[in-house]
Amino acid sequence: MIDMHAHWRPAEVANELRERTREPRIVRRDDGIEVFKVRGSEEPLADAFDRADTYLEKMDRQGVRASALSLLGSFCWIESQPPEVSTRLCRRVNDQLSRVCQEHEGRFAAFAALPLTDMSAAVAELERALALPGFVGAQLPGNGFLTRKDAEQMRPLLEVANRERAILFIHYGPRPGDVFPKVAGDVDNARRRNGTLDMQASLSSVMVTLCLTDYLDPYPNATILVHNLGGNIAFEVERMDHRSMTDSPQEELPSARFRRSKVFVDCNSFGPRAIEAAVRLYGADRIVCGTDGTAFGIDWTTKALSEAEIGEEARQKILYRNAAAMLSQRAKTASREAVAA
């Protein structure tokens, strides 16, 4: 298995977490023990950050050959700080991720964290990160692509990705300044509403922007990956086609446009029936593995893929071959650039 959706919790921002006045942050309890507090829960500081050795042990136990690391959402606050702060923190995290990739060659790749409050700084950091060993692209917030208008601000990063044949991993999350999460904690089932209902609806909107407009046309060499099967599109596309037939019969059906698009999705968090629906819509060539980087996620994804009635060839494409081709393309580009330099 190659895991293209594997999150990382960087210890390099611990001091800044101690200085924060709201979650996520590090606080010292009355008993003197420091804990990491986020989303109304807390955990001992010893368990709050990732280490390569324990990460590899988990991967080895679960049969994961390689993981593409990206910031866990509760650490993405570093991208929304003022530019002078955000740039420093993102550089620190990216430098460490590159070291992890170098020290464990072939086991890790990395998506860069970017200072998103200043697009010129974000572009510069993406270019810098892509020159570092291990980096294959960057993680970007899904709210940046909810509509074509939203996505316009992201074009400078698409231009870099296109030039460098890099991967942009679009993950559910806010842009700097967005109200997030959308549902307050005192609302019933807030975690279900935010973590499933809003997440999947938002990702569906991202896919509509990317696949049903010409936004990506200028960037044929950039690889775009959206997590969680691209939202609910595989389940909603039949209704979308029906509405298209009645509302705009002169247009090509949405299902055909989704199928023709080159946007990839990962199968994180979904079961066998959902994977089957996604294979029918997108094709097995457009799906990769994703687990959130947790042991539970790896177990869940492995079980879902083993039970999905998609055929062995499709299963191998999703487990390994599609991601291997994706990473290989970026590695070849980086190698050519190194030789040229």
pLDDT for residue 340: 63
- In whole angstroms, what is the distance from residue 210 CA to residue 218 CA? 12
- In whole angstroms, what is the distance from residue 129 CA to residue 30 CA? 41
**Nearest alpha carbon to residue 175 among 200, 208, 201, 151:** 151
Question: Cα dihedral angle (156, 159, 223, 102), rounded to 10 degrees?
Answer: -80
Query: What is the domain-level CATH number for residue 97?
Result: 3.20.20.140
| CB-CB neighbours of 273 under 10 Å | 14
Joined together, the tokens standing for residue 192 give 């279900």
- Number of domain units in the chain: 1
Joined together, the tokens standing for residue 279 give 């294979």
**Nearest alpha carbon to residue 234 among 282, 175, 167, 270:** 282
CA distance between the termini of the chain: 33
Residues 6+ apart with CB under 8 A from 17: 24, 25, 26, 36
- In whole angstroms, what is the distance from residue 335 CA to residue 100 CA? 19
- pLDDT means per 10 residues, the chain with 341 residues, are 97 95 92 88 91 96 97 96 97 98 97 98 98 98 98 98 98 95 91 95 98 98 98 97 96 97 97 98 98 94 97 98 94 70 61
Q: How far is CA 288 from CA 41, 76, 263, in A?
A: 31, 23, 11
What is the pTM assigned to this prediction? 0.96
Range of the domain at 238: 2-340
Joined together, the tokens standing for residue 248 give 């705009």
Q: How far is CA 37 from CA 24, 44, 65, 76, 320, in A?
A: 6, 9, 32, 15, 35
Secondary structure (3-state) at 172: coil
pLDDT for residue 232: 97
pLDDT for residue 330: 85
